[in-house]
Amino acid sequence: MKFMRKKEILTAVAALTLAGAACSAAGTQDKEQSGVSSVSEESAGISSVEENTGADEEKSSSQDTKPTVLTPTPSPEIRYLDGLEGYKAGDVIFDEAVDFNDLGRYFKSYEISDELFARIYGDDKSYKTYCTVPREDLRYLKLLHYGFDGKVYVGELMVNTLLADEVCEIFRILFENRYQIEKMYLIDDYNADDNASIADNNTSAFNYRAVTGGTSLSNHAGGCAIDINPLNNPYVLYNENGELTWSDPEVEKYLDREAPDAYERHMINHDDLCYKLFAERGWTWGGDWDNPVDYQHFEKVVATYNY
């Protein structure tokens, strides 16, 4: 029994020793495996730090050696006016809103609408109750022009339908060249009073009336004549003694049509672009008449009407 006990003890001791060795080996293996992973992670961390540090140094070096480039802020997109619908004569338009590559959209003619006809109809209006010109023979023009202050304005005219496209073209070219016209309203805004329109230096066309100082119909009555900047380009008469006469005291300073500053004072002569454009298209200039002399007046008779 004693031997057996001793043997059992020895066997148990041996078993415990083997188990301890196995556990020790396993623990060592686990520790080694865990250590590799840890070292690997630590090594990766170091590698990452070293790489970042290098990148920062490179970035810092780059900033120190290269000039700073500022990216310009893009300007807002320019939106051009599609046309002049919704705008009325006298409205100011900013240059930036005008598409100079497509000016045709701002120089258009329209049939006389009922609303417009109500504006021009009456014995103190351009289309008198006894007017013999068919409404269909007239066209309403809406267009742009530069004023004497250099701003862009909406203007309006009424002309014969046979001249509408040609007049739009003339005024478009004048606009392209920044030719200045002080005002451009239908004469109905002046109760069809030619003198009141002239006094306000207003450019106008259609007005069913007689010629100045006569009884026959003016070419304005058929929409076949236009008066441009009338204060700067006056209507004058020679009397029986051959002397020039005029009614407005301002006229005298505009009599020398060849003055060096004629252009700056908006005086039409043969060198003026306005004269050239009308003359090239067969219009007659009142400045070439013998008596009276009407420097503001251009006409092209494409239709005649009677009272």
Residue 283: other Cβ atoms inside 10 A: 21
Q: Is residue 14 part of a domain?
A: no
pLDDT of residue 240: 87
Q: Is residue 100 part of a domain?
A: yes
Which residue ranges of the chain lie beneath pLDDT 50? 1-63
Residue among 108, 124, 114 at smallest CA distance from 156? 108
Query: What would the two tokens of residue 115 be?
Result: 């609303």
Query: pLDDT tens across 223-243, in order?
Result: 999 999 999 999 999 888 888
pLDDT of residue 274: 98
pTM for this entry: 0.74
Query: Longest C-alpha distance within the chain, in Å?
Result: 174
Q: Is residue 115 part of a domain?
A: yes
pLDDT of residue 28: 43
Domain total of the chain: 1
CA distance 97 to 271: 31
Domain that holds residue 126: 92-299
Q: Is residue 22 part of a domain?
A: no
For the chain, the C-alpha Rg in angstroms (whole number) is 46
User: Residue 236: phi, psi to the nearest 5?
Assistant: -130, 155
Query: pLDDT tens across 261-276, in order?
Result: 999 999 999 999 999 9
CA distance 289 to 22: 132
Compute the mean pLDDT over every residue in the chain, rounded to the nearest whole number: 82
pLDDT of residue 7: 42
Is there a contact between 303 and 296 (Cβ–Cβ < 8 Å)? no
CA distance 302 to 284: 12
Q: Is residue 59 part of a domain?
A: no
> If phi over 0 gives left and psi between -120 and 50 gives alpha, with beta otherwise, what is residue 22?
alpha
